[in-house]
Amino acid sequence: MNPLAQIDAVFFWLKDKLSTGGYYGYHNIENFVTRTPELKINITLLKEILKRLEADGYVSRMQPAGGGQEVYNVTFKGLVFDGYVIEDEEKKLSANIAKITVNNSQNLNRLTFWLVIFSGIAALYYAVELYKFFWCK
């Protein structure tokens, strides 16, 4: 599983759990990760994933006033976020569209150049023919 898919798996699990309301503690998230070995996420990586989600503003971490374990909540920014994998695909798609646009623009410029050249040649030819017709009798 690639790193973006791993982040998405943790994020979407947390987002799904929090849609019912409330907060989820770090140990709940850790239990999910350890019970899902196909994610290939160890504890160190889980901490880095949570830091990344928090740094990007998709998840907020709070320490309860009465003490206890840290709890995580999905922020509004996180509620409207579609995931890192989709975001990465959108970036790649945008880059491809930009390349295609530049390529099409260059091709259109070449076409315009050759149309101007051939139009000039045609104009010159017909100017000579008109000259012959009217003044060379």
Mean pLDDT over 56-70 rounds to 82
Residues 46 and 22 in one domain: yes
Residues 11 and 72 in one domain: yes
Residues 53 and 68 in one domain: yes
Mean pLDDT over 49-77 rounds to 86
Share of the chain above pLDDT 90, in %: 36
Cα torsion at 42, 44, 48, 49 (round to 10°)? 20
Residues 76 and 92 in one domain: no
Residue with tokens 């070995």: 37
Question: Is the per-residue pLDDT at 31 higher than 80?
Answer: yes
Residues 65 and 115 in one domain: no
Question: Is the per-residue pLDDT at 59 higher than 80?
Answer: yes
Q: Range of 111's domain?
A: 82-137
Structure tokens, 104 = 């099409």
pLDDT class for 68, splitting at 50, 70, 90? confident
pLDDT class for 22, splitting at 50, 70, 90? low
Residues 91 and 135 in one domain: yes
What pLDDT, on a 0 to 100 scale, did the predictor assign at position 17? 81
Residues 94 and 128 in one domain: yes
Residues 96 and 64 in one domain: no
Residues 28 and 61 in one domain: yes
Question: Is the per-residue pLDDT at 20 higher than 70?
Answer: no
For the chain, how many structural domains are there in total? 2
What pLDDT, on a 0 to 100 scale, did the predictor assign at position 135? 85
Q: Which of 7-16, 18-27, 30-39, 85-94 has the lowest mean pLDDT?
A: 18-27
CA distance 109 to 70: 60
What would the pLDDT profile of 71-85 be if each residue is shown by its tens digit? 888 888 888 888 888
CATH code (residue 58): 1.10.10.10
Residues 71 and 99 in one domain: no
What pLDDT, on a 0 to 100 scale, did the predictor assign at position 92? 87
CA distance 69 to 26: 7
